[in-house]
Structure 1
Amino acid sequence: MKKTKMLTEGALMLAVFTILLLIFNYIPFLSLIAVAFLLLPFILYSAKYPLKYSFILLIGGIIISALVGTLLLIPVAIAYGTTGMVIGYSIQKKKSKTFLYIAASIMFLLNTIGQYIVSVVLFKIDILKDTIKMVRESMNKSMQIFEAVDKGTTDQLMDQFNTILNSFTTLLPSLLVIASFLIIWILLSINLPIARRFQIDAPKWNSFRDLQLPRSILWYYLITIILTLILRPEQGDFLNTALANLNFVLQLLMLLQGLSFLFFYSYEKKWPKAIPVLIIIFSFLLFPLQYLIRILGIMDLGFNLRQLIKRKSP
């Protein structure tokens, strides 16, 4: 009876995945909605049954993706299938929400990197390189139009554009990591509440104001800054790329810690909820404000400001 139930639910999850895949592939204006739920069948199944049966479901999903669509759908099935399996298995083993989030994000990131490598090695298609080349050529053509009007301004704009494009190329690894973690956070926020409605004991997220990063991150941040100042690697070197990406990610984490502290402080002082939200909006519009919030994050980690505020609170 148990095996029959597993097979029946497996067939049902495969049918749901097929419908979502068809919507994603053939109905453009609903594709963004469908892609948000591609994880769900694998989460629901992997949270209840042994991992080997989840692999059978994954193989079925890959075969279906090749039959109902094109070969281009196979990477989609693999990425969302394996990520959904990791989430479901983590729920089944009662792992913490932090472990679940990091494991799912890493799996999604590995899928993205693996598919990029396969695209370059087997099909000789480098999407990132081609995109950067296309953007550069498009900008050059646009600048040629304005060059006749004001050559000095055009040269200045081209220098700024090249600086931005070179920075983007250097920070590409960290941007890829951040994108993967952000996508998984969005997908988990959508799918975990639905999974709980199906009697799956999925962990709940704490409030953003309770976010507390490990203190060791502060030391990594300081070491990265010191190494950058002492070594002064040249532009384009591997060391320069590594330190630039580390510094970028750690700065972002300090910013998150600072924003979390602002929400915590606002909650303790019973400020209107709109105030910290407005601070976040202005921090993206006014870049210097990000420095102040980042300093708050560093102080919060280094001096445990939250405990000091709690002690002073009545």
Structure 2
Amino acid sequence: MGKTKALTEGAIMLALYMILFLMTLYIPLLGSLTLFALSLPFVVFSSRRGWKSGLVLFGAAVIFTMLFGSILALPSTFLFGLGGIVIGYLYKINRSKFEILAAGSIVYILILLVIYAIITTFLKINPVEEAQRAIEQSINMSREMMESLGQTINEAQLEQLQQALEFASLLMPTVIVFVGVFLTFITQLLSSKILSRLGLQVEKWPPFRSIQLPRSLIWYYLIAMVAMMFPLEQDSMMFLAIFNLFHILQLLMILQGLSFIFYYCYHKNLSKGIPITILILSFLLPFLLYLVRLIGIIDLGFNLRSRVESKK
């Protein structure tokens, strides 16, 4: 009876995954939303039946992906299938939210790296170079159009855009890390509500204001900042590692700064709209983002929260 129920549940989860997969593949606008739900069938099934049953579902999903999609669509099944199994199993054994976030992020990042390596090595396609080439073609077309209309071209802006493209290519490892963490967070956000309704006890996220990063990160940040001052070959692995580590740590300082702003507003009984407005404006106004990062650095280095508490 138990096996029959598990098979029935697995068949339902497989059907649900294929529906979400086909919607993602063939319905562009809606697919951009269903993309983030692809891991949910694996999370739910693994949280109820364990990782071994999750792997059986994953194997079936791979076969059906090749039948109804294509071999080129397999990376998405590998990414969301394996990531979903790990997250679901961690829910099953009652791991904390942050443990699930860390483990899920590592799995997503590793799979993304493998997919990227396969694409660049075997298919001889470099996504970054392809994107750069497409943007450069667009720039050249815009330049030709403006010249034909007799309009002047701002060479300084074009040069800045070219530098931005080179900068983006160097940040590919950071992008992969960010995507891995983001996918895990979204998966947790969506799946926790579903699992709660199914009767599974799911730990709630602590308030954003309570997030405090390890104080040791400030030293890593300072070391990375000093290392960035040394002249290194831009194509060297050392430069790439330091460059990406520095920018990842910068993002963490921003996170710490935003968390402190929410914390400060909460303890001063200020309107909730104030920190939310600062959060939105920070990503629209670069100078404000710099100030938020500075607040994060000071909070980590001098423990500003204890001073807010003492003055309360």
TM-score range, shorter chain: over 0.9
Mean Cα deviation higher: 25-34 or 163-172: 25-34
SS at match of 2:206: coil
5+ long unaligned stretches in structure 2: none
* Structure 2 partner of 1:6: 6
Deviation of the 1:159 alpha carbon:
1.6
Contact 1:40 1:195 in 2 (8 A): no
The answer to whether the 8 Å contact 1:251/1:294 transfers is: yes
Distance 2:137 2:26 in 1: 32
Partner of 2:41: 41
- Cα distance, 1:86 vs. partner? 0.7
For residues 1-314 of structure 1, the aligned pairs below 5 Å read 1-146=1-146, 149=150, 153-229=153-229, 231-313=230-312
Query: Deviation digits for residues 52-83 of structure 1, max 9, x if unmatched?
Result: 22111110111111122222332221111101
TM-score, length of structure 2 as denominator length:
0.92
Amino acid across the alignment from 1:28: P
Measured against aligned partners, the alpha-carbon deviations of 1:31-61 in whole angstroms (never above 9, x if no partner) come to 2332232211111111122322211111011
| Native 8 Å contact 2:262 2:275 kept in 1 | yes
CA distance in 2, matches of 1:137, 1:20: 34
Instruction: State the alpha-carbon separation in 2 of the partners of residues 246 and 65 from structure 1.
Output: 36
Q: Is the 8 A contact 2:46 2:85 kept in 1?
A: yes
Amino acid aligned to 2:64: I
Supply the AA of the counterpart residue of 1:87.
I
CA distance in 2 between counterparts of 1:307 and 1:185 reads 29
Counterpart Cα distance in 1 of 2:82 and 2:238: 33
Partners of 1:309 and 1:179 in 2: how far apart?
34
Helix, strand or coil for the counterpart of 1:47? helix
- Contact 1:143–1:158 (Cα < 8 Å) also in 2: no
Distance 1:254 1:224 in 2: 13
- Take 2:214 and 2:17, find their aligned partners in 1: how far apart are those partners? 38
Question: Do 2:119 and 2:125's aligned partners in 1 also have CA atoms closer than 8 Å?
Answer: yes
Residue 36 of structure 2 contacts residue 183 of structure 2 at CA under 8 Å; is this kept in 1?
no
Residue 271 of structure 1: how far off its partner (Å): 0.5
Q: Among the aligned pairs, what percent are the same residue?
A: 37
Kindly tell me: are residues 48 and 311 of structure 1, through their superposed partners in 2, closer, same or farther at Cα, counting changes over 3 Å?
same
How far apart are the structure 2 equivalents of 1:285 and 1:14? 41
Q: Is the 8 A contact 2:44 2:191 kept in 1?
A: no
For residues 77-126 of structure 1, what are the alpha-carbon distances to aligned partners after superposition, in whole Å with 9 as ceiling and x for unaligned? 11111011010111112212111112112222222222222222222232
Structure 2 vs 1, CA of residues 282 and 12 (structure 1 numbering), >3 Å: closer, same or farther?
closer
> Equivalent residue of 1:285, what SS?
coil
Listed one character per residue, the Cα deviations across residues 125-175 of structure 1 (whole Å, up to 9, x for unaligned) are 323222211212221332244457576x53322221211111111112112
SS at match of 1:48: helix
User: Bigger shift: 80-89 or 273-282?
Assistant: 273-282
3-state DSSP class of the match of 1:36?
helix
C-alpha distance in 1 between matches for 2:85 and 2:231:
43
2:215 and 2:263 map into 1 onto residues whose CA distance is: 18
Distance in structure 2 (CA, Å) of the matches to 1:282 and 1:18 = 39
Aligned equivalents of 1:27, 1:293: Cα separation in 2? 39
Please say if residues 96 and 203 of structure 1, whose CA atoms lie closer than 8 Å, have aligned partners that are also in contact: yes
| Counterparts of 1:33 and 1:291, CA distance in 2 | 31
TM-score normalised to the size of structure 1?
Answer: 0.91
- TM-superposed CA distance for 1:30, in Å, is 2.7
How far apart are the structure 1 equivalents of 2:71 and 2:131? Answer: 22
| 1:210-243 Cα shifts (integer Å, max 9, x gaps) | 11111111111011112222x2324333322222
Give deviations 1:274-298, integer Å, cap 9, x for gaps.
1111112222233222222212111
| Distance (whole Å) between structure 2 residues aligned to residue 13 and residue 21 of structure 1 | 12
Rounded Cα–Cα distance in structure 2 between residues aligned with 1:183 and 1:87: 11
